[in-house]
Structure 1
Amino acid sequence: MRTIRDHSLISVAMAASLAFTATIMPAHAQTAADAALGMANMLDGAGGGVSGDDLLSALENAAEAGQPMAMWQLGTMYENGEGVAKDPARAFGYFAQIANEHADAAPKGVEADIVAQSFVKVGDYYKQGLPDAGIPVDAERSHALLLHAATYFGDADAQYRVGLLYMQEKELGVNPLQSARWFSLAARKGHCPAQARLGGLLFNGVPGIEAQPIEGLMWLNVAALRCAGTADAAWIVDMRNQALSHVSPEISEEATALADSVAPQFAGF
């Protein structure tokens, strides 16, 4: 299996990051990740009479044939220890293979989400380092990989994470305008943590962004609705409630009405 110890992947990512034009890409009715999960469920022993070994063999054969969905499924299995022994090095290898071989896949293609998320995952491995796979900590490469997913593929999660990097001096440097820009791109695709972060920036205002309490609270309301029942719900509700404690009932009502009217536009695709 190919790794990315050479510079092929980082070169592609760097080139894309320097030459991008940020656009909002429509999501797909059925993502490639959904299709990969469907394939695994179809072959699962409980539903299709196929043993775990046969499932693993089928996925490995599909991966060797160059199927990104199979590589992704294997990568997540080895990353999480699902049906196989946990093996971060093997997981990295599959994600890196997807990224290396499909870096210039069509941004709107059926497998674009898997490729984009593979860039994100490989970037995470470079952020933390993976000695067993010969992967050193490399923040610059990690940033470049994430930016490729965010720009070329327009991946909402990657865009959100780029926004977070612009809130940290030790990452891409504190730049509230850039954070708001990236959060806005992700928020408009239905990414609820990005909606909350954007709402917070707009509500409070930052250098270069005048405080907009109604629009900020609107985004916080949308985020609280969209993220209800998720792991992010608590901090988003806390942020929304904190904002509510600083506004008049009139502003709160206006923001709520605005959220109700625009929420369907930003509910994801």
Structure 2
Amino acid sequence: MRTIREHSLASAAAGFALAFLAAVIPAQAQTAADAALDLANMLDGAGGGVSGDAYISALENAAEAGQPLALWQLGTMYENGEGVDKDPARAFGYFAQIANQHADAAPKGVEADIVAQSFVKVGDYYREGVPDAGIPADIDRSHALLLHAATYFGDADAQYRVGLLYTEEGGLGVNAIQSARWFSLAARKGHCLAQARLGDMLFNGVQGIEAQPVEGLMWLNLSHIRCQGTVDQAQVDDLLNRASSIALPEDRTNAAALAESIAPQFANF
């Protein structure tokens, strides 16, 4: 591994990378994970010869200064064991710091995505508990954190997950109308799994919602387009294929045309 002058280059690299990302995130509509990956790519030595130790040092310096992006990246590294030993307690600490310090950040601000996803992460940890950090499982707190991300920040992934909670006995209580409402909010932001679940509910009909085959198929077609090439493609296509196999030919045609006309609305998500 190549070495560098630790403090000067690490600090400069961290400052440059964070400034660079702050400039490009709005234009490219990146997710928190995308932004963190860009930070990793910029500092990992591929272009600048920065060593792994210097990379972590740069992140830690930026984290000490309260940079949410650095805190997010460190949390992700310790959560997944990427370049460091896996440590759920440390990961929880970094994500919790973002949530605690930026709970009232502007919902549409540059860092809103990272803050919202940190609430989701901390909620996940509270669902199971973090024994190494002395954090017991607290399902009510888990739900509250997820709801904050979904309501205050309007985070699509959080909204999708709230929709799922309304389909589970141990979630927020089975309520098809509430579930469809949250799926709809996320679907209109381009969340492909939310589009698929909403489409499935509308196509088949559920308690309180009459079957709407054309609109349901439209959302299923949109989810097929949005999920292509992702790990979610198989389950989305399974829902679409099942619905298509029993749909009327004219409904399939009308739904496909609607999906094609609406798809450009989600191009920038």
Post-superposition offset of 1:40 = 2.6
- Equivalent position SS for 1:110: coil
State the 1:32 CA deviation.
Answer: 6.7
Question: In 2, are the aligned partners of 1:191 and 1:268 still within 8 Å (CA)?
Answer: no
Query: Counterpart of 1:143?
Result: 143
Question: Conserved in 2, the CA contact under 8 Å of 1:59 and 1:70?
Answer: yes
Equivalent residue number for residue 118 of structure 2: 118
What residue is the counterpart of 1:13 in the other structure? none
Matched, 1:29 2:27: yes
Aligned to 2:108: 108
Alpha-carbon spacing, 1:212–1:117, altered in 2? closer, same or farther (3 Å) = same
More helix by share: 2
Residue 156 (structure 1) aligned with residue 156 (structure 2): yes
Letter in 1 for 2:183: F
The residue aligned with 1:21 is none
The residue number in structure 2 matching 1:129 is 129
Alignment of 1:216-255 (within 5 A): 216-255=216-255
Partner of 1:73: 73
Offset at residue 28 of structure 1 (A): 3.7
Fraction of identical pairs, as percent = 77
Is the contact made by 1:187 and 1:266 (CA closer than 8 Å) also made in structure 2? no
**In 2: Cα distance, 1:197 partner to 1:82 partner:** 32
Tell me the CA shift for residue 94 of structure 1. Answer: 0.1
Cα gap change, 1:194 to 1:267, in 2 (>3 Å): farther
- In structure 2, the CA distance between the partners of 1:32 and 1:239, relative to structure 1 (3 Å rule), is closer
State the Cα distance separating 1:170 from its structure 2 match: 1.1
Tell me the equivalent position of 2:99.
Answer: 99
Q: Residue in 2 aligned with 1:173?
A: 173
Alpha-carbon separation, structure 2, partners of 1:76 and 1:172: 28
What is the aligned partner in structure 2 of residue 89 from structure 1?
A: 89
State the one-letter code of the partner of 1:105: A
Q: Which runs of 5+ in 1 are unaligned?
A: 1-26
**1:40-99, Cα deviation, whole Å (9 max, x unpaired):** 322212321111001100100110011111000100011111111111110000000000
Code of the residue aligned with 1:90 in structure 2: it is R
Structure 1 residues 226 and 48: alpha-carbon distance in aligned structure 2, compared to 1, 3 A threshold? same
8 Å CA contact 1:32–1:69 kept in 2: the answer is no
Going from structure 1 to structure 2, the CA distance change for 1:267 and 1:163 (only over 3 Å counts) comes to farther
Cα root mean square deviation, aligned? 1.3
The separation in 2 between residues aligned to 1:28 and 1:194, in whole angstroms, is 23
For 1:199, give the aligned amino acid. Answer: G
- Of stretches 39-48 and 53-62 in structure 1, the one that deviates more from structure 2 is 39-48
User: Using the alignment, how far apart are the partners of 1:202 and 1:259 within structure 2?
Assistant: 15
Superposed displacement of residue 265, structure 1: 1.3
State the AA in 2 paired with 1:110.
V
Pairwise CA distance, 1:37: 3.0
Q: Distance in 2 between matches of 1:35 and 1:239?
A: 31
Q: Detail structure 1 runs of 4+ shifted over 2 Å in the superposition.
A: 27-40, 266-269
Per the normalisation by structure 1, the TM-score is 0.87
For each residue in 1:186-222, what CA deviation from the matched residue of structure 2 results, as whole angstroms up to 9, or x when unmatched? 0011100000000011111112211100000000011
1:36 Cα deviation (Å)?
Answer: 3.5
Which segment drifts farther, 220-229 or 192-201? 220-229
**CA 1:39–1:229 in 2, change beyond 3 Å: closer, same or farther?**
closer
Q: Answer with 169-178 or 43-52: which moved more.
A: 43-52
Cα distance in structure 2, aligned partners of 1:120 and 1:207: 29
